[in-house]
């Protein structure tokens, strides 16, 4: 699968590296194309780098992995996203962990969907620390991740990508339910930092029956 990563920070670079190891074709997009190319070269596996627009044009799946403050500009700069699968992995935490930058209604993902006209927006990969992405197994349990979106085919592809990372992927319904799952990122931050639990934590949904 062709996956574009919009952003070259710790989340985007880690996801790109992990999916490249699963034989996906990766292209990083950055405001500084040379930075994206340097990151791609460090990963190898045929990864490439370029501008936001070049990456978006390349990818069948596009992962938005930038700070919330840069999300709107990044989406607009990416150009035509009609028919693309756009994974919103942003969190709206304020600088220095000072609360959230937006109200819960509408959610960040709904705002992204409004900016990315014609894209199939899926909320995912926002409730776990980057430090845990390479170690999602906790004893006999896999960390759960919650995804939501309105396009079933797009959700199915994103779910498979999440499974490849090692997540227990939970379909949380339509995109409007991002209003419910986005605050989990704030809870994770509160527990990890303010309550001193550290970053080696993750959420798990327990069930007595098999989930879909």
In this structure, is residue 39 part of a structural domain?
yes
Q: What is the pLDDT of residue 92?
A: 80
pTM of the full structure? 0.92
What is the Cα–Cα distance from 206 to 191, expressed in whole angstroms? 19
User: Which residues does 63 contact at the CB level (< 8 Å), separation at least 6?
Assistant: 3, 4, 5, 6, 7, 12, 15, 87, 89, 125
In this structure, is residue 130 part of a structural domain?
yes
- The closest alpha carbon to 1, from 185, 16, 136, belongs to 16
What is the Cα–Cα distance from 124 to 147, expressed in whole angstroms? 5
Structural domain span for residue 18: 2-194
In this structure, is residue 100 part of a structural domain?
yes
First to last CA, the chain: 23
State how many domains the chain has: 1
- The closest alpha carbon to 26, from 35, 34, 41, belongs to 41
CATH of the domain at 88: 3.40.50.720
- The beta-strand segments (E) located in the chain are 2-6, 25-29, 48-50, 61-64, 85-88, 120-123, 137-138, 141-142, 144-149, 168-171
In this structure, is residue 78 part of a structural domain?
yes
Q: What is the pLDDT along the chain (212 residues), one digit of tens a residue?
A: 999 999 999 999 999 999 999 999 999 999 999 999 999 999 998 899 999 999 999 999 999 999 999 999 999 999 999 999 999 999 986 554 555 555 566 899 999 999 999 999 999 999 999 988 999 999 999 999 999 999 999 999 999 999 999 999 999 999 999 999 999 998 998 899 989 999 999 999 998 877 55
In this structure, is residue 203 part of a structural domain?
no
What is the Cα–Cα distance from 33 to 38, expressed in whole angstroms? 9
In this structure, is residue 86 part of a structural domain?
yes
- The closest alpha carbon to 25, from 51, 52, 44, belongs to 44
- The closest alpha carbon to 101, from 194, 40, 11, 185, belongs to 185
In this structure, is residue 202 part of a structural domain?
no
In this structure, is residue 209 part of a structural domain?
no
CB atoms within 10 A of CB 164: 16
User: Which residues does 23 contact at the CB level (< 8 Å), separation at least 6?
Assistant: 45
């Amino acid at each position: 699968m062709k996956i574009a990563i919009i952003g070259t920070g710790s989340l985007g670079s880690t996801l790109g590296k992990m999916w490249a190891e699963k034989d996906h074709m990766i292209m990083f997009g950055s405001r500084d194309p040379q930075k994206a190319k340097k990151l791609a070269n460090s990963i190898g596996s045929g990864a490439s780098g370029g501008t936001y627009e070049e990456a978006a044009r390349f990818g069948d799946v596009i992962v938005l992995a930038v700070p919330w403050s840069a999300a709107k500009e990044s989406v607009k700069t990416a150009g035509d996203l009609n028919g693309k699968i756009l994974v919103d992995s942003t969190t709206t935490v304020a600088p220095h962990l000072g609360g959230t930058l937006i109200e819960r209604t509408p959610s960040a993902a709904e705002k992204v969907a409004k900016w990315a006209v014609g894209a199939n927006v899926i909320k995912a990969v926002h409730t776990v620390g980057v430090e845990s992405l390479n170690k999602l197994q906790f004893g006999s349990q896999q960390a759960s991740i919650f995804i939501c979106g309105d396009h079933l085919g797009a959700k199915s592809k994103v779910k498979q990508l999440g499974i490849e990372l090692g997540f227990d992927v939970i379909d949380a319904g339509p995109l409007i339910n991002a209003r419910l799952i986005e605050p989990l990122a704030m809870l994770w931050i509160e527990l990890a930092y303010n309550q001193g639990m550290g970053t080696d934590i993750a959420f798990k949904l327990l069930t007595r029956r098999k989930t879909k």
